[in-house]
Homo-oligomer: A and B are copies of this chain.
Amino acid sequence: MFDKLHEECGVFGIAASTESSVDSAYETFTGLFSLQHRGQESSGIAVNDSGVISCRKDLGLVMEVFDERTLRAMKGDAAIGHVRYSTTGNSNVENAQPIVVTHHKGNLAIAHNGNLVNAGELRHDIEKIGGIFHSSNDTEIIAYIIVQERLSVNSIEEALSRAMRRIKGAYSLLIMSPRKLIAARDPNGFRPLCAGKLDNHYIFASETCAIDAVGGTFLRDVAPGEIVVVENGRMRSIDSGLHADNKSFCSFEFIYFARPDSILEGIGVEWARQEMGRYLARESSVDADIVIGVPDSGISAAQGYAAETGIPYGVGLIKNRYIGRTFIQPSQGQRERAVRLKLNPLSANIKGRRVIMIDDSIVRGTTSARIVSALREAGAREVHMRISSPPFLHPCYFGTDIPDSEALIAHNHTIDETARIIGADSLAYLSLTSLSDVMNKAGCPICNACFSGRYPIKPPIAAEKHIFDRHLARVL
Given known pairs A261-B344, A321-B321, A346-B270, the reply for A331 and B472 (CB within 8 Å) is no
Q: How far is the CA of A341 from the CA of B31 in the complex (A)?
A: 9
Residue in A23, A102, A132 whose Cβ sees the most chain B Cβ within 10 Å? A132
Chain B contacts of A324 at CB under 8 A? Answer: 61, 63-64
Chain B contacts of A303 at CB under 8 A? Answer: 313-315
Residue in A133, A260, A344 whose Cβ sees the most chain B Cβ within 10 Å? A344
Contact status A475-B270, CB under 8 Å? no
- Bits for A139-159, please: 1 = Cβ < 8 Å to B, else 0: 000011001100100000000
A-B CB proximity, top 8 nearest: A268-B348, A104-B127, A130-B148, A101-B132, A261-B318, A63-B324, A36-B322, A215-B337
Closest to A61 in B: B322
A residues 104-133 with Cβ under 8 Å of B?
104, 107-108, 124, 127-133
- Bits for A292-330, please: 1 = Cβ < 8 Å to B, else 0: 000010011001000100001111001011101011111
- For residue A279, CB closer than 8 A to chain B, the reply is no
Given known pairs A29-B328, A328-B29, A474-B52, the reply for A344 and B100 (CB within 8 Å) is no
- For residue A461, CB closer than 8 A to chain B, the reply is no
Given known pairs A101-B132, A130-B129, A318-B209, the reply for A270 and B349 (CB within 8 Å) is yes
A257, chain B: closest CB distance, angstroms: 14
Closest to A71 in B: B328
Partner of A130, one of B147, B296, B476: B147
Known: A101-B134, A215-B336. 10 other contacts (CB 8 A): A34-B320, A52-B474, A63-B328, A130-B147, A209-B318, A215-B337, A261-B345, A263-B347, A268-B347, A270-B349
- For residue A381, CB closer than 8 A to chain B, the reply is no
- Bits for A202-217, please: 1 = Cβ < 8 Å to B, else 0: 0000000100111100
Residue in A108, A151, A270, A348 whose Cβ sees the most chain B Cβ within 10 Å? A348
Q: How far is the CA of A324 from the CA of B143 in the complex (A)?
A: 34
- For residue A1, CB closer than 8 A to chain B, the reply is no
- Bits for A87-108, please: 1 = Cβ < 8 Å to B, else 0: 0000001000001111110011
* Sample (27) of A-B pairs whose CB atoms are under 8 Å apart: A29-B328, A33-B320, A36-B322, A40-B322, A63-B322, A66-B328, A100-B475, A103-B130, A103-B133, A104-B124, A104-B127, A104-B131, A129-B151, A130-B131, A130-B144, A209-B318, A209-B344, A212-B340, A212-B344, A213-B337, A213-B340, A261-B345, A261-B346, A263-B348, A268-B347, A270-B348, A303-B315
Contact status B334-A26, CB under 8 Å? yes
Chain B contacts of A259 at CB under 8 A? Answer: 318, 344
